[in-house]
Structure 1
Amino acid sequence: MTASETTAPVQWPAGYRINPRVDGPAPDIVEAFRDMPVAAIGDSMSRNIGTVGLRQYHARLDTVLCGPAVTVRVRPGDNLMIHKALMLVQPGDVLVIDGGGDVTQALVGGLMRTTCMAKQLGGLVIDGAIRDLCEWAPDGMPIFARGHTHRGPSKDGPGEINIPVACAGLAVLPGDLVVGDADGLIAVPAAEAADVLERCRAHLKKEARIRADNAAGTSDPERFDAALRAKGLPV
């Protein structure tokens, strides 16, 4: 075998691709984001970033999903490449699955939850359907999905792993930090995570001051009156 043959790029069949896992932010940054509400992260990132139309299927509202993304794009209703992705994840990873928003066939079920638990996955985000709801409800595996159905998936492919995906209106790159709570989900680019964390902390301090003023009845009317005057209102 020649040197060129050993270094030649993989020729994937059409519709298939498996890229290496991408490291996310440093572990201390990931852990710090567990205390950051998704709404506050969104406020620190222009307020127009996040999923639309997903709901949580784990029971506890205070459960936080937080970890680096391993991304998967599948044909609607097919989970072959999700099974492959579960062979590649590391503890704490979040599996982000672009299933095209289809809810006619479930992409994951209770048997796959046992695999996720064994792999110590950080959670799942699925623009598609799940099944076996009673098995997903207990603590230990946060999961957000578009919907649910009893109808099971095929395992024929195609699909791609660790590529840029669009999941319920959220752009996610492999290694992005994905954070989810009762309000929704957001993805923070890995290279920007430290900066976003500091902006989020500053935003929460500002909110604490506003909350205290609201509670005391001493909030500054100029906070909104100035904006109204700028629009020409005589206030």
Structure 2
Amino acid sequence: MSGVIVTGPPKADAQDVEALAGYGVATVHEAMGRTGLLPAHLRPIQQGTRVAGAAVTLLSWPGDNLMIHAAVEQCGEGDLLVVTTTSPSTDGMFGELFATALQRRGVRGLVIDAGVRDTQELRRLGFPAWAAAVSAQGTVKATGGSVNVPVAIGGQVIRPGDVILADDDGVIVVPREEARRAAEASAAREAKEAASRAAFHDGQLGLDRYGLREKLAQLGVTYASYEDHVGGGAPVRDGAGA
């Protein structure tokens, strides 16, 4: 497998990346119309951490981490390394030494659709990672690959310079051209959720706040008292006695 290392790709504006870092993955996902979410098998090795960064992408041969060494050189302040392989792999391609080198360069974290190892050391370093597997299985350095090319993970295309946002809920990609709009939409959604949170705290029900009683009626959902339900009595259609 031959490959290419692309240098100097365009990146999302750093201010937009920082703005998106203020919101959770779920909020951004909803604000973007439920797009961009990476597969649920990418799980964090830590808890309580949220990061956002500009993607440095890597396509590697499974069980071979040669191109991660090449990718480190292309990483800089505010970046986030995204690794996938040409076919499924769970080998531990990334560990403490890579994290040390990337942390020195200002890289904010890792998303890898393969395996990581040295997870205790990664947590000690404070280097966040989201991975498809945790495995002590070692790798080789024998096959070429590509850095800073578009890659696909679970049907989502990630281009170099796109924004990657990751937290306890998962990982999302925001196209670099859409970063500002996504941040603005996320701010609006968070404000809406804050208003709903306050209403729920005061005792309002989601059924009323979101007009869902009408939806239930449209779907033919009825209310019935327990006695009527178990005794075969007529359902109560207006909610009385429920």
Q: TM-score, normalised by structure 2?
A: 0.84
Please name the residue that 1:4 is paired with: none
Alignment counterpart, residue 74 of structure 1, candidates 60, 68, 78: 60
Q: Do the aligned partners of 1:68 and 1:175 also contact (CA within 8 Å) in 2? A: yes
Q: Do the aligned partners of 2:20 and 2:182 also contact (CA within 8 Å) in 1? A: no
Q: Once the two structures are superposed, what CA deviation does each residue of 1:67-105 show, in whole Å capped at 9, x if it has no partner?
A: 1001001111111111101011111111100134411x2
* Residue 175 of structure 2 corresponds to residue 193 of structure 1: no
Please name the residue that 1:179 is paired with: 165
How far apart are the structure 1 equivalents of 2:32 and 2:214? 24
Aligned pairs for 1:21-40 (under 5 A) are 21-40=8-27
* Residue 34 of structure 2 corresponds to residue 47 of structure 1: yes
How far apart are the structure 2 equivalents of 1:221 and 1:51? 31
How far apart are the structure 2 equivalents of 1:139 and 1:169? 31
Q: Once the two structures are superposed, what CA deviation does each residue of 1:123-166 show, in whole Å capped at 9, x if it has no partner?
A: 11000001112111125311111111111111112211111111
How far apart are the structure 1 equivalents of 2:88 and 2:108? 22
Shift of 1:220: 5.7
- Structure label with greater radius of gyration: 2
How far apart are the structure 2 equivalents of 1:225 and 1:173? 43
Shift of 1:45: 1.6
Q: Do the aligned partners of 1:21 and 1:89 also contact (CA within 8 Å) in 2? A: no
Q: Do the aligned partners of 1:130 and 1:145 also contact (CA within 8 Å) in 2? A: yes
Alignment counterpart, residue 157 of structure 1, candidates 143, 154, 168: 143
Percent identity over the alignment? 32
Shift of 1:187: 0.6
How far apart are the structure 2 equivalents of 1:23 and 1:152? 33
SS in 2 for 1:87: helix
Amino acid at match of 1:33: L
How far apart are the structure 2 equivalents of 1:187 and 1:161? 17
Aligned pairs for 1:5-24 (under 5 A) are 14-24=1-11
Please name the residue that 1:7 is paired with: none
Aligned pairs for 1:41-120 (under 5 A) are 41-52=28-39, 53-57=41-45, 59=46, 61-99=47-85, 100-103=87-90, 105-120=91-106
Shift of 1:168: 4.3
Q: Once the two structures are superposed, what CA deviation does each residue of 1:152-209 show, in whole Å capped at 9, x if it has no partner?
A: 1111122111111112443211110101011111011110111111111111111111
Aligned length: 219
Q: Do the aligned partners of 2:200 and 2:206 also contact (CA within 8 Å) in 1? A: no
SS in 2 for 1:126: strand
How far apart are the structure 2 equivalents of 1:138 and 1:101? 28
Moved over 6 A (4+): none
How far apart are the structure 1 equivalents of 2:57 and 2:186? 25
Shift of 1:51: 1.9
Structure 1: any 5+ residue segments left out of the alignment?
A: 1-13
Please name the residue that 1:218 is paired with: 204
Amino acid at match of 1:225: R
Q: Which moved more, 1:16-25 or 1:190-199?
A: 16-25
Alignment counterpart, residue 110 of structure 2, candidates 121, 124, 129: 124
RMSD over aligned CA atoms reads 1.8
